[in-house]
Amino acid sequence: MTEYKNLLVQTEQGITVVTINRPKSLNALNSATLDEMKQLFDILAKDEATKIVIITGGGESAFVAGADIVEMQKLNVIESRNFSRLGQAVFSAIENLPQIVIAAVNGYALGGGCELAMACDIRIASSKAVFGQPEVSLGIIPGFGGTQRLAQLVGKGRAKEIICTTNMLKVEEAYRIGLVNAMVEPNELMETAKAMANKIISKAPIAVQLAKDAINRGFDMSLQAGLAYEADNFGICFATADQKEGMKAYLEKSKPVFTGK
Ligand code: HXC
Protein backbone atom coordinates (compact mmCIF):
# COMPACT_ATOMS: atom_id res chain seq x y z
CA MET A 1 0.00 0.00 0.00
CA THR A 2 1.05 3.64 -0.57
CA GLU A 3 3.30 5.23 2.09
CA TYR A 4 1.86 8.23 3.91
CA LYS A 5 3.64 10.95 5.88
CA ASN A 6 0.88 11.69 8.39
CA LEU A 7 -1.07 8.43 8.43
CA LEU A 8 -0.30 4.91 9.55
CA VAL A 9 -2.31 2.27 7.73
CA GLN A 10 -2.40 -1.38 8.69
CA THR A 11 -4.72 -4.10 7.38
CA GLU A 12 -5.07 -7.35 9.30
CA GLN A 13 -7.80 -9.95 8.90
CA GLY A 14 -10.11 -7.58 7.09
CA ILE A 15 -9.73 -4.68 9.53
CA THR A 16 -7.86 -1.61 8.29
CA VAL A 17 -6.68 0.60 11.15
CA VAL A 18 -5.97 4.18 10.05
CA THR A 19 -3.99 6.21 12.59
CA ILE A 20 -3.85 9.98 12.15
CA ASN A 21 -0.24 10.41 13.12
CA ARG A 22 1.06 13.92 13.89
CA PRO A 23 1.35 13.45 17.65
CA LYS A 24 3.54 16.55 18.17
CA SER A 25 0.57 18.67 17.04
CA LEU A 26 -1.97 16.38 18.73
CA ASN A 27 -2.81 15.01 15.25
CA ALA A 28 -4.11 18.38 14.05
CA LEU A 29 -5.47 18.13 10.52
CA ASN A 30 -3.48 20.22 8.04
CA SER A 31 -4.23 20.17 4.33
CA ALA A 32 -1.40 17.70 3.64
CA THR A 33 -3.02 15.21 6.05
CA LEU A 34 -6.46 15.80 4.56
CA ASP A 35 -5.03 15.21 1.05
CA GLU A 36 -3.50 11.93 2.23
CA MET A 37 -6.80 10.91 3.84
CA LYS A 38 -8.70 11.62 0.61
CA GLN A 39 -6.23 9.53 -1.35
CA LEU A 40 -6.39 6.70 1.18
CA PHE A 41 -10.19 6.55 1.49
CA ASP A 42 -10.58 6.55 -2.31
CA ILE A 43 -8.31 3.48 -2.33
CA LEU A 44 -10.04 1.78 0.63
CA ALA A 45 -13.47 2.20 -1.02
CA LYS A 46 -12.31 -0.28 -3.66
CA ASP A 47 -10.06 -2.44 -1.48
CA GLU A 48 -11.47 -5.94 -1.17
CA ALA A 49 -9.09 -6.77 1.70
CA THR A 50 -10.68 -4.02 3.82
CA LYS A 51 -13.93 -5.26 5.32
CA ILE A 52 -14.09 -2.57 7.98
CA VAL A 53 -12.13 0.57 8.91
CA ILE A 54 -11.10 1.82 12.36
CA ILE A 55 -9.82 5.39 12.68
CA THR A 56 -7.78 6.42 15.72
CA GLY A 57 -5.17 8.98 16.78
CA GLY A 58 -1.42 8.52 17.20
CA GLY A 59 0.31 9.23 20.53
CA GLU A 60 -1.07 9.21 24.04
CA SER A 61 -3.41 12.14 24.42
CA ALA A 62 -5.33 12.95 21.26
CA PHE A 63 -7.64 11.48 18.69
CA VAL A 64 -7.46 14.72 16.68
CA ALA A 65 -7.26 18.14 18.41
CA GLY A 66 -8.82 19.92 15.44
CA ALA A 67 -7.87 21.48 12.17
CA ASP A 68 -4.32 22.85 12.19
CA ILE A 69 -4.53 26.35 13.65
CA VAL A 70 -0.98 27.21 12.49
CA GLU A 71 -2.04 26.61 8.88
CA MET A 72 -5.52 28.16 9.20
CA GLN A 73 -4.18 31.39 10.70
CA LYS A 74 -2.71 32.41 7.32
CA LEU A 75 -5.70 31.62 5.11
CA ASN A 76 -7.62 34.23 3.14
CA VAL A 77 -11.35 34.04 2.39
CA ILE A 78 -11.07 31.84 -0.70
CA GLU A 79 -8.40 29.58 0.81
CA SER A 80 -10.41 29.09 3.99
CA ARG A 81 -13.53 28.16 2.03
CA ASN A 82 -11.43 25.67 0.03
CA PHE A 83 -9.97 24.28 3.27
CA SER A 84 -13.47 23.77 4.63
CA ARG A 85 -14.54 22.11 1.38
CA LEU A 86 -11.48 19.84 1.41
CA GLY A 87 -12.24 18.58 4.92
CA GLN A 88 -15.92 18.20 4.09
CA ALA A 89 -15.04 16.14 1.00
CA VAL A 90 -12.73 13.87 3.02
CA PHE A 91 -15.32 13.37 5.76
CA SER A 92 -18.10 12.73 3.22
CA ALA A 93 -15.82 10.14 1.58
CA ILE A 94 -15.54 8.45 5.00
CA GLU A 95 -19.29 8.64 5.61
CA ASN A 96 -19.99 7.18 2.17
CA LEU A 97 -17.41 4.39 2.23
CA PRO A 98 -19.08 1.07 1.48
CA GLN A 99 -17.44 -0.34 4.61
CA ILE A 100 -18.50 0.52 8.16
CA VAL A 101 -16.07 2.95 9.82
CA ILE A 102 -15.52 2.92 13.58
CA ALA A 103 -13.88 5.87 15.34
CA ALA A 104 -11.75 4.65 18.26
CA VAL A 105 -11.52 7.95 20.12
CA ASN A 106 -8.47 7.76 22.37
CA GLY A 107 -8.21 11.36 23.62
CA TYR A 108 -9.05 14.92 22.56
CA ALA A 109 -11.62 15.01 19.76
CA LEU A 110 -11.93 18.75 19.32
CA GLY A 111 -13.14 20.88 16.42
CA GLY A 112 -12.23 19.00 13.25
CA GLY A 113 -11.44 15.97 15.43
CA CYS A 114 -14.99 15.83 16.79
CA GLU A 115 -16.20 16.37 13.22
CA LEU A 116 -14.03 13.47 12.01
CA ALA A 117 -15.45 11.18 14.70
CA MET A 118 -18.97 12.22 13.73
CA ALA A 119 -18.37 11.36 10.06
CA CYS A 120 -17.63 7.78 11.17
CA ASP A 121 -20.51 5.32 11.45
CA ILE A 122 -19.86 4.32 15.08
CA ARG A 123 -17.88 6.01 17.88
CA ILE A 124 -16.21 4.08 20.68
CA ALA A 125 -14.43 6.31 23.18
CA SER A 126 -11.89 5.72 25.90
CA SER A 127 -12.55 7.22 29.33
CA LYS A 128 -9.76 9.72 28.46
CA ALA A 129 -11.66 11.11 25.47
CA VAL A 130 -12.82 14.72 25.48
CA PHE A 131 -15.23 16.06 22.87
CA GLY A 132 -15.87 19.66 21.91
CA GLN A 133 -16.26 22.25 19.19
CA PRO A 134 -14.04 25.16 20.33
CA GLU A 135 -14.21 27.06 17.02
CA VAL A 136 -16.12 30.14 18.19
CA SER A 137 -13.31 30.76 20.69
CA LEU A 138 -11.08 31.21 17.64
CA GLY A 139 -13.52 33.48 15.80
CA ILE A 140 -14.62 30.76 13.38
CA ILE A 141 -17.35 28.15 13.17
CA PRO A 142 -17.10 24.39 12.69
CA GLY A 143 -16.35 23.94 8.99
CA PHE A 144 -15.81 20.22 8.48
CA GLY A 145 -19.51 19.35 8.87
CA GLY A 146 -19.91 20.02 12.60
CA THR A 147 -22.88 22.39 12.36
CA GLN A 148 -24.74 19.70 10.43
CA ARG A 149 -23.64 16.33 11.83
CA LEU A 150 -23.64 17.38 15.51
CA ALA A 151 -27.26 18.52 15.18
CA GLN A 152 -28.11 15.23 13.44
CA LEU A 153 -26.53 13.21 16.24
CA VAL A 154 -27.56 15.06 19.40
CA GLY A 155 -30.35 17.39 18.26
CA LYS A 156 -30.34 21.10 17.39
CA GLY A 157 -30.59 22.40 20.97
CA ARG A 158 -27.61 20.46 22.29
CA ALA A 159 -25.59 21.17 19.12
CA LYS A 160 -26.14 24.92 19.55
CA GLU A 161 -25.14 24.72 23.22
CA ILE A 162 -21.96 22.71 22.53
CA ILE A 163 -20.89 24.92 19.62
CA CYS A 164 -21.80 28.30 21.11
CA THR A 165 -20.50 27.72 24.66
CA THR A 166 -17.47 25.64 23.50
CA ASN A 167 -17.99 23.54 26.63
CA MET A 168 -15.86 20.38 26.52
CA LEU A 169 -17.68 17.11 27.08
CA LYS A 170 -16.21 14.33 29.09
CA VAL A 171 -16.93 10.90 27.77
CA GLU A 172 -19.77 10.14 30.20
CA GLU A 173 -21.64 13.21 28.97
CA ALA A 174 -20.87 12.40 25.32
CA TYR A 175 -22.28 8.91 25.93
CA ARG A 176 -25.35 10.25 27.75
CA ILE A 177 -26.36 12.48 24.84
CA GLY A 178 -25.69 9.85 22.18
CA LEU A 179 -22.54 11.34 20.72
CA VAL A 180 -20.65 8.11 21.41
CA ASN A 181 -21.91 4.54 21.18
CA ALA A 182 -19.75 3.07 23.92
CA MET A 183 -17.13 4.10 26.50
CA VAL A 184 -14.34 1.83 27.69
CA GLU A 185 -11.07 1.96 29.60
CA PRO A 186 -8.13 3.21 27.48
CA ASN A 187 -6.39 -0.19 27.43
CA GLU A 188 -9.61 -1.80 26.14
CA LEU A 189 -10.28 0.68 23.33
CA MET A 190 -8.73 -1.07 20.33
CA GLU A 191 -9.79 -4.48 21.59
CA THR A 192 -13.42 -3.30 21.88
CA ALA A 193 -13.34 -1.60 18.47
CA LYS A 194 -11.89 -4.75 16.89
CA ALA A 195 -14.44 -6.99 18.60
CA MET A 196 -17.24 -4.85 17.20
CA ALA A 197 -15.51 -4.85 13.80
CA ASN A 198 -15.31 -8.66 13.84
CA LYS A 199 -18.96 -8.96 14.78
CA ILE A 200 -19.94 -6.76 11.82
CA ILE A 201 -17.55 -8.68 9.51
CA SER A 202 -19.32 -11.92 10.48
CA LYS A 203 -22.63 -10.62 9.06
CA ALA A 204 -23.73 -10.59 5.40
CA PRO A 205 -21.46 -7.90 3.87
CA ILE A 206 -23.77 -6.68 1.12
CA ALA A 207 -26.66 -6.42 3.58
CA VAL A 208 -24.47 -4.38 5.98
CA GLN A 209 -23.47 -2.11 3.09
CA LEU A 210 -27.08 -1.66 1.92
CA ALA A 211 -28.26 -0.93 5.48
CA LYS A 212 -25.59 1.77 5.92
CA ASP A 213 -26.52 3.23 2.54
CA ALA A 214 -30.25 3.30 3.36
CA ILE A 215 -29.63 5.00 6.73
CA ASN A 216 -27.32 7.60 5.15
CA ARG A 217 -29.50 8.38 2.13
CA GLY A 218 -32.68 8.40 4.20
CA PHE A 219 -31.32 11.25 6.32
CA ASP A 220 -31.45 13.59 3.31
CA MET A 221 -34.97 12.53 2.29
CA SER A 222 -38.58 12.78 3.40
CA LEU A 223 -39.84 9.73 5.32
CA GLN A 224 -41.81 8.57 2.28
CA ALA A 225 -38.78 8.82 -0.03
CA GLY A 226 -36.57 7.14 2.59
CA LEU A 227 -39.02 4.26 2.96
CA ALA A 228 -39.11 3.80 -0.83
CA TYR A 229 -35.29 3.77 -0.86
CA GLU A 230 -35.26 1.22 1.96
CA ALA A 231 -37.67 -1.06 0.06
CA ASP A 232 -35.38 -0.92 -3.01
CA ASN A 233 -32.30 -1.85 -0.96
CA PHE A 234 -34.33 -4.58 0.77
CA GLY A 235 -35.18 -5.96 -2.66
CA ILE A 236 -31.53 -5.89 -3.76
CA CYS A 237 -30.67 -8.21 -0.84
CA PHE A 238 -32.74 -10.88 -2.58
CA ALA A 239 -30.29 -10.86 -5.50
CA THR A 240 -27.53 -12.11 -3.15
CA ALA A 241 -26.38 -15.60 -2.31
CA ASP A 242 -25.99 -14.42 1.30
CA GLN A 243 -29.76 -13.80 1.65
CA LYS A 244 -30.40 -17.37 0.55
CA GLU A 245 -27.66 -18.68 2.85
CA GLY A 246 -28.80 -16.58 5.83
CA MET A 247 -32.42 -17.68 5.67
CA LYS A 248 -31.61 -21.31 4.87
CA ALA A 249 -29.16 -21.50 7.80
CA TYR A 250 -31.73 -19.94 10.13
CA LEU A 251 -34.40 -22.44 9.16
CA GLU A 252 -31.94 -25.34 9.42
CA LYS A 253 -30.77 -24.02 12.80
CA SER A 254 -27.15 -23.85 11.54
CA LYS A 255 -24.59 -21.04 11.37
CA PRO A 256 -24.60 -19.16 8.04
CA VAL A 257 -21.44 -19.04 5.96
CA PHE A 258 -21.53 -15.73 4.11
CA THR A 259 -19.49 -15.22 0.96
CA GLY A 260 -20.20 -11.55 0.30
CA LYS A 261 -21.93 -12.47 -2.94
C1 HXC B 1 -2.28 23.18 15.66
C2 HXC B 1 -2.19 22.24 17.74
C3 HXC B 1 -3.59 22.06 17.75
C4 HXC B 1 -4.34 22.48 16.60
C5 HXC B 1 -2.79 21.30 19.62
N6 HXC B 1 -1.73 21.77 18.89
N7 HXC B 1 -3.93 21.49 18.93
N8 HXC B 1 -1.57 22.80 16.68
N9 HXC B 1 -3.65 23.04 15.59
N10 HXC B 1 -5.66 22.32 16.51
C11 HXC B 1 -0.33 21.78 19.29
C12 HXC B 1 -0.06 22.81 20.38
O13 HXC B 1 0.05 24.09 19.80
C14 HXC B 1 1.25 22.30 20.94
O15 HXC B 1 2.29 22.67 20.05
C16 HXC B 1 1.08 20.79 20.86
O17 HXC B 1 0.03 20.54 19.91
C18 HXC B 1 0.65 20.20 22.19
O19 HXC B 1 -0.48 20.90 22.64
P20 HXC B 1 -0.61 21.56 24.10
O21 HXC B 1 -1.56 22.67 23.98
O22 HXC B 1 0.76 21.84 24.65
O23 HXC B 1 -1.25 20.35 24.91
P24 HXC B 1 -2.19 20.42 26.18
O25 HXC B 1 -1.71 21.46 27.15
O26 HXC B 1 -2.30 19.01 26.66
O27 HXC B 1 -3.61 20.92 25.63
C28 HXC B 1 -4.33 20.11 24.78
C29 HXC B 1 -5.47 20.93 24.11
C30 HXC B 1 -4.89 22.19 23.45
C31 HXC B 1 -6.52 21.29 25.16
C32 HXC B 1 -6.13 19.98 23.08
O33 HXC B 1 -3.78 21.80 22.63
C34 HXC B 1 -5.87 22.91 22.58
O35 HXC B 1 -6.75 23.62 23.06
N36 HXC B 1 -5.72 22.79 21.23
C37 HXC B 1 -6.54 23.50 20.30
C38 HXC B 1 -7.90 22.85 20.20
C39 HXC B 1 -8.79 23.58 19.21
O40 HXC B 1 -9.08 24.78 19.36
N41 HXC B 1 -9.27 22.87 18.18
C42 HXC B 1 -10.17 23.39 17.19
C43 HXC B 1 -9.40 23.98 16.05
S44 HXC B 1 -10.44 24.77 14.88
P45 HXC B 1 3.70 23.24 20.62
O46 HXC B 1 4.43 23.60 19.37
O47 HXC B 1 3.36 24.39 21.49
O48 HXC B 1 4.27 22.07 21.36
C49 HXC B 1 -11.04 23.50 13.95
C50 HXC B 1 -11.86 23.94 12.77
C51 HXC B 1 -12.35 22.80 11.93
O52 HXC B 1 -10.82 22.36 14.20
C53 HXC B 1 -12.99 23.27 10.65
C54 HXC B 1 -12.05 23.88 9.68
C55 HXC B 1 -12.68 24.25 8.37
Enumerate the β-bridge partners of residue 104.
124
- Please count the other Cβ atoms lying within 10 Å of the Cβ belonging to residue 50: 19
Q: Which of 20, 21, 22, 26 to mutate to test the pocket of ligand 1 (most atoms within 8 A of CB)?
A: 26
How many whole angstroms from 97 Cα to the centroid of ligand 1?
Answer: 28
The reported pLDDT for the residue numbered 212 is: 98
Is the model's pLDDT at 239 over the cut of 70?
yes
Phi, psi values for residue 8, rounded to 5°: -110, 135
SS3 content of the chain, % helix, strand, coil (to 5): 50, 15, 30
163 by Cβ neighbours in 10 Å (0-12 / 13-18 / 19+) ranks as: buried
Is the model's pLDDT at 1 over the cut of 80?
no
How many percent of the chain have pLDDT more than 90?
98
Q: Which of 135, 188, 230, 252 is catalytic?
A: 135
The predicted-structure confidence for 197-214, as pLDDT tens digits, reads as follows 999 999 999 999 999 999
What number does the ligand 1 atom closest to the CA of 25 have? Answer: 17
* CB of 40 closer than 8 Å to CB of 20: no
How many whole angstroms from 206 Cα to the centroid of ligand 1?
Answer: 40
How many whole angstroms from 11 Cα to the centroid of ligand 1?
Answer: 29
Is the model's pLDDT at 2 over the cut of 90?
no
pTM over 0.85: yes
How many percent of the chain have pLDDT more than 70?
100
The reported pLDDT for the residue numbered 3 is: 87
Is the distance from the beta carbon of residue 70 to the nearest atom of ligand 1 less than 6 Å? yes
Mean pLDDT of 46-55: 98
Active site residue 161: no
How many whole angstroms from 252 Cα to the centroid of ligand 1?
Answer: 56
The predicted-structure confidence for 141-198, as pLDDT tens digits, reads as follows 999 999 999 999 999 999 999 999 999 999 999 999 999 999 999 999 999 999 999 9
Strand ranges (E), the chain = 7-12, 15-20, 52-57, 62-64, 100-105, 108-110, 122-126, 130-132, 169-170, 182-184
The DSSP output letter for 249 is H
Is the distance from the beta carbon of residue 251 to the nearest atom of ligand 1 less than 6 Å? no
Active site residue 115: yes
Q: Which domains does the chain have, with CATH numbers?
A: 7-201 (3.90.226.10), 205-252 (1.10.12.10)
The reported pLDDT for the residue numbered 205 is: 97
- Please count the other Cβ atoms lying within 10 Å of the Cβ belonging to residue 154: 19
d(CA 119, CA 112): 10
The predicted-structure confidence for 77-132, as pLDDT tens digits, reads as follows 999 999 999 999 999 999 999 999 999 999 999 999 999 999 999 999 999 999 99
